[in-house]
Amino acid sequence: MKLKPGFEAEYKKRHDKIWPELSKELTAAGVLDYSIFLDEATLTLFAVQKLTDTHSSDELPQQQIVKKWWDYMADIMEVNADNSPMVTPLKEVFYMP
């Protein structure tokens, strides 16, 4: 994902006050742990989620609270037409269990 220039502090502020109903939805979908990292040089955001074996996180984009969050974040991130964050898939090149 990509942050727009000048919105680093605002992005952190919004996530520090994540909506309880969104947090509840993520937990219900099997998200056990969720971290987002910022490369300050490129404003690239990198998200890592740990999921339960029976997670339903693939269904999160259809949830109204997720769409509402996307709308809330659209002014400070690069987004698609539906306000979902623009995402660049990454290829795993190393994993150590």
Clarify whether 55 is annotated catalytic: no
Contacts 24+ apart (CB under 8 A), 30-34: 30/54, 30/55, 30/56, 30/57, 31/55, 31/57
Write down the catalytic residue from 13, 15, 24, 50: 15
Q: For residues 1 and 78, is the Cβ–Cβ distance under 8 A?
A: yes
Q: Say which amino acid occupies 63.
A: Q
For the chain, the distance separating the N- and C-terminal CA atoms, rounded to the nearest angstrom, is 26
Catalytic residue annotation: 15
